[in-house]
Each structure stands twice: as C-alpha cells, then as structure tokens.
C-alpha cells in the first residue's frame, strides 16, 4: 500500500529543514565520538545541542501532521505507519481515509510530545551543568 503523493513547496521546505537537523545531529554525534576517542570532555555542550536538534526535527515532523501531513508517511518507517493504521482500522469504525488521517495526527502528536521532552531535557542539562 505504498502511496505516491506530491509535496507542496511548504512541505519541501519542511523536509529540507528536517534533513538539515538530521545532518547536524549526525555531525554532533560524530564530534562526540571523536572527543571520546581523544579524551576531550565537551559532553555538557554536545548533549544539549543534539537534544535541541532532535527537538527541532520532531517539532517540524509533528507540525506537518496538522497541516497536510504528507511528510508523516514519507518519514515514518512503513511498518510503524501501517501498524498504527491497522490498529485504528481494527478498533474503530473509521473509513480508510479517516483512519489514515487519524494515524497521521496520532504520530504527529507523539512527535510533538517527544519534541517537548527533548527540549525540557536539554534545558535541564544546560542548567545542571552551570
């Protein structure tokens, strides 16, 4: 049930922003691995920074769910989206399109909750390290 959909300009910008957040996160993780190898301690800076990048990524992901929501099935692993869709169809009397929209909004809500959790964790780590 792979569906094709065209992203509009706003969603393309959101996708590029998500890619930038993901790339910066991988660079920060790489810097952390390099620092660990060379016994450099910058964890009090790098860990909150990567959490802020995760926060931005998941916020954009969740924000898109409440707009058109085309990035949700594109960026969610296929089995996770299909499993969520299946559970909604099985335990409710929603039509196929309403179940897909509900699954999109549900995954978007989870992403926003994750985003808030990452932001709170980053703030706590920054205030703890002073």
Nearest to 74 by CA among 61, 56, 63, 83: 61
Residue 54 tokens read as 């995760």
Q: What is the reported pTM? A: 0.89
| 22 pLDDT above the threshold of 90 | yes
Per the structure, the count of domains in the chain is: 1
110 within a domain of the structure (yes/no): yes
Residue 102 tokens read as 């509900």
pLDDT band at 6 (very low <50, low <70, confident <90, very high): confident
Domain containing 56 equals: 9-128
Residue 46 tokens read as 């790098």
pLDDT single digits (tens) 81-117: 999 999 998 888 888 899 999 999 999 999 999 999 9
Percentage of the chain lying above the pLDDT 70 cut: 95
What does the alpha-carbon distance between residue 19 and residue 40 come to, in Å, rounded to a whole number? 28
4 within a domain of the structure (yes/no): no
Question: How many C-beta atoms surround the C-beta of residue 23 within 10 A?
Answer: 11
1 within a domain of the structure (yes/no): no
For residues 44 and 125, is the Cβ–Cβ distance under 8 A? yes
Distances (CA, A) of 33 to 29, 50, 80, 126: 6, 13, 30, 20
**Phi and psi for 64 in degrees, rounded to 5?**
-65, -30
Average pLDDT, the chain: 92
3 within a domain of the structure (yes/no): no
- The pLDDT value given to residue 15: 94
């Amino acid at each position: 049930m792979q569906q094709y959909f065209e992203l509009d300009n706003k969603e393309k910008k959101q996708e590029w922003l998500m890619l930038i957040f993901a790339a910066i996160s991988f660079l920060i993780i790489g810097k952390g691995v390099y620092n660990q190898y060379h016994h450099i301690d910058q964890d009090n800076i790098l860990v909150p920074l990567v959490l802020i990048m995760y926060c931005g990524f998941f916020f954009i992901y969740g924000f898109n769910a409440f707009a058109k929501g085309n990035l949700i099935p594109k960026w969610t692993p296929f089995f996770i989206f299909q499993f969520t869709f299946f559970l909604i169809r099985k335990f409710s009397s929603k039509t196929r399109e309403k179940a897909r929209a509900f699954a999109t909004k549900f995954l978007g809500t989870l992403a926003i909750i994750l985003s808030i959790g990452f932001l709170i964790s980053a703030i706590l780590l920054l205030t703890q390290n002073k």
